[in-house]
Amino acid sequence: MKFKSEELLAELINQTKENIKKAKELQKLDLSVLQKRKDTESWNALECFEHLNMYGAFYLPEITSRMESASYPKNEIFKSGMIGNYFTKSLLPKKKLNKMKTLQATNPLHKDLDASVITVFLNQQSKLLQLLAKAKSKDLTKIKTAISISELIKLRLGDTFRVLIYHNIRHIMQAEDTVK
């Protein structure tokens, strides 16, 4: 899949701003509402955010490091890789969220959490917006990042942004669903 780099980044910035808006709305809710769960084995809203924070803690420094060390000039076109496109499509939210198994290391089920996890998420999103702005002068295809599940697999920077942001969208939808 090919994208105009500038258009892709603009879309990802808008999606991130929408994620911030939704997180701020959820942050206004009472702690008891945020801790409510559908059943004993499903995440509550705070656990959804904690899960996202775990991924942000890996990807934001990884993206920062790779962008700072890369010397590729800006490219107007981003070409998605096969693996990156597969991950992106699997994370895209559907009307009824498809269940996905999470790794034990990133499963916050039954952690004692408070609303500060949403503040952490919002801080990470601010950093993500800064990285997306810096990416406007980078080659989204040639810069590669490791992924959280294996240092051996690398994704193109554009795909990494897409995966991270679509993952955020998915779990914010899940968090919203838990408070209904």
- Hey, how many other C-beta atoms are within 10 angstroms of the C-beta on 132? 19
Q: What percentage of the chain carries pLDDT values higher than 70?
A: 96
If pLDDT is split at 50, 70 and 90, which confidence band does 96 have?
Answer: low
Alpha-carbon distance of 119 to 97, in angstroms, equals 25
Residues 6+ apart with CB under 8 A from 42: 178
Provide the CATH number for the domain formed by 2-178 in this structure.
1.20.120.450
What sign for the dihedral angle of Cα 119, 29, 39, 18? negative
What is the average per-residue pLDDT within 91-115?
Answer: 79
Whether the predicted pLDDT of 105 surpasses 90: no
End-to-end Cα distance, the chain: 36
Alpha-carbon distance of 27 to 118, in angstroms, equals 6
Q: Spell out the alpha helix ranges (H) of the chain.
A: 5-27, 31-34, 45-69, 82-91, 116-134, 157-178
Whether the predicted pLDDT of 57 surpasses 90: yes
What is the average per-residue pLDDT within 53-79?
Answer: 96
- Of 3, 154, 151, 131, whose CA–CA distance to 65 is shortest? 131
- Give the model's pLDDT for residue 68: 97
Coil, strand, or helix at residue 150?
strand
- Give the model's pLDDT for residue 104: 75
What is the average per-residue pLDDT within 110-138?
Answer: 97
- Give the model's pLDDT for residue 152: 85
Alpha-carbon distance of 153 to 166, in angstroms, equals 19
